[in-house]
Structure 1
């Protein structure tokens, strides 16, 4: 089973969104099957085999989340982030400002799915692992 310390160590290697595939690879090697990131306060819930879970503490003061989704702005900012043009704190602010409530990363199916305040899917994309 994995520990939060191991997850934090893997996360510390991430500098921009361009590092995300390597991070996913490292988490898979730890035995993480999926995780959920909550934009509001940065709480992450990591899930492994047989119902094993690890949850982080809030990472920052609660943000104001916009209720109405601005998919065009989010999509543009997501691409910029994935190309390494923005850091994670900037990306989190953009998520809050464009209506992203949380995302779930499925490390088995290699997808990242973003949800709004009503638990509706905003966007789902494949995680491309060819860059590691």
Structure 2
């Protein structure tokens, strides 16, 4: 069973998107199977097997999510973040500006899907687990 403390401890080791694969591996090892992150305020829900879930509180002040999504802007923000050139807060601001409402990390299949406000998948990336 996973705990919010254990998840937060693993998250504290993430400085940029370059560290994300290790975080995903740690979540999976804890028993997390899916993680939904809401860009508006950074609140996250972690799901395990069955009915098990934990919800974090907001991580920052509310951001305005643009109604019109911009896939290219999101791709550029992801590239920069994954190269270690931006921190989490900067990436979240860029994702909000690109119209991302949330992303879903599916640790069963090893993907991250970035969704706009209408639920449309803008980008789906594979995670090396």
CA-atom RMSD in angstroms? 0.8
Q: After the TM superposition, which of the residue ranges 68-77 and 29-38 deviates more from structure 2? A: 68-77
Equivalents in 2 of 1:115, 1:73: separation in Å? 14
Deviation, structure 1 residue 52: 0.2
Count of matched residue positions in the alignment of Structure 1 and Structure 2: 129
Equivalents in 2 of 1:73, 1:50: separation in Å? 36
Matched residue SS, 1:50 = coil
Equivalents in 1 of 2:77, 2:64: separation in Å? 18
Equivalents in 1 of 2:45, 2:98: separation in Å? 22
1:19 alignment partner in structure 2: 19
Equivalents in 1 of 2:14, 2:59: separation in Å? 16
Equivalents in 2 of 1:128, 1:49: separation in Å? 21
2:45 alignment partner in structure 1: 45
2:69 alignment partner in structure 1: 69
1:79 aligns with 2:79: yes
Gaps of 5+ in 2: none
Gaps of 5+ in 1: none
2:6 alignment partner in structure 1: 6
